[in-house]
Amino acid sequence: MKKYYVLTFLILANLFWAGNYVFGKFVVAEMAPLQMTFLRWLIAIFLLFPIAHIIERPNWKIVWKQWKTLSVMAVLGIAGYNFLLYEALRFTTPMNASLVNSINPAIIVLFSSLLLKERISLKNGAGLLISLLGVLLVLTHGHLEQIFHLHFNRGDLLMLLAILVWTFYSIIGRTIKEAPPISATAVSVMLGLLMLLPFVLSSGLEFPESRQAIAGMLYIGIFPSVGSFVFWNVALRQIGPSRAGIFLNLIAVFTAILSLLLGNSITLVQILGGILVFIGVYLTSQLKKKETLHISPGSKEISP
């Protein structure tokens, strides 16, 4: 595959993910986060299975044999992360949410070191600290002394909880060896929908009313849920996860651009915090020359 195709796929994948934060802010004004999470994956499920079958041609029996692990991943990644993300957007800006989410790769490295005993280098450790400083700068609006006062925006704290949930989702996903990624995600989404269904029925299924919210919900269900994932995995096969992972920093960049186009302001603190996060994540993702980064087929290790 030609390099510019791979580059285009990576740019589109991250652009679509950025839209999840921006358009999610519009939709959450009219729908509860639980309803949004359910409707997002209900739209996506009708595309994921056909695409998985065409691109990966999986042995579905083998995929379904992983149902226990995929069920845990459904609770964490399909239901938990998305609910917390949309709940966070009720209280914080898309820019803040995307910047906090940018520390995710570094957090995964940290927990992989603690739980899976993966070695972490001095450079990785420095990257973690720099990323943390960048996020704290954003959370405290440039007033780091607020850390000791414990006064934080509720949405920012929910976003921190969301990335912790996604970290465990990513680590558990590494145990899936036989199921290809799109197929595993399709089954995980179906299991997640079944888990969410009783709660949605008990609270009543809502639908967005305004044109903006309807368009936003369709966008979320199609582009970040399906398009980004397909583009990402095609690119991943061509250049590998270590090189592709650097492009994840584009999510916050595109979120900033989309926010500006829609009339939202970006503060100097957000810019400085974002720069620190990017530097930290870059250092954290650096591997030794003889090392390669392995991501199991069932795990994206990226934001859905």
What is d(CA 167, CA 104) in angstroms, rounded to the nearest whole number? 7
For residue 298, pLDDT beyond 50: no
Among residues of the chain, what percentage have pLDDT more than 70? 84
182-197: pLDDT as tens digits:
898 899 999 999 999 9
Among residues of the chain, what percentage have pLDDT more than 90? 37
User: Measuring CA to CA, how many Å separate 253 from each of 4, 106, 110?
Assistant: 20, 18, 24
117-158: pLDDT as tens digits:
667 777 777 777 787 787 777 767 677 666 565 566 899 899
pLDDT of residue 89: 94
pLDDT of residue 65: 92
What is d(CA 215, CA 237) in angstroms, rounded to the nearest whole number? 32
What is d(CA 303, CA 246) in angstroms, rounded to the nearest whole number? 14
Q: In the chain, where does DSSP find H-type helix?
A: 3-27, 33-55, 60-64, 67-73, 81-88, 94-101, 104-115, 122-139, 154-173, 181-203, 211-222, 228-239, 241-245, 250-261, 268-284
In the structure encoding, which two tokens stand for residue 1, read together? 């595959």
pLDDT band at 51 (very low <50, low <70, confident <90, very high): very high
Question: CA dihedral defined by 168, 171, 174, 180, rounded to 10 degrees?
Answer: 40
**130/1: higher pLDDT:** 130
pLDDT of residue 1: 59
Name which of 160-169, 186-195, 213-222, 277-286 the model is least confident about. Answer: 277-286
| Mean pLDDT value across the chain | 82
What is d(CA 98, CA 72) in angstroms, rounded to the nearest whole number? 25
Instruction: Fill in the amino acid letter for 282.
Output: Y
What is d(CA 249, CA 4) in angstroms, rounded to the nearest whole number? 19
pLDDT band at 85 (very low <50, low <70, confident <90, very high): very high
In the structure encoding, which two tokens stand for residue 296, read together? 């199991």
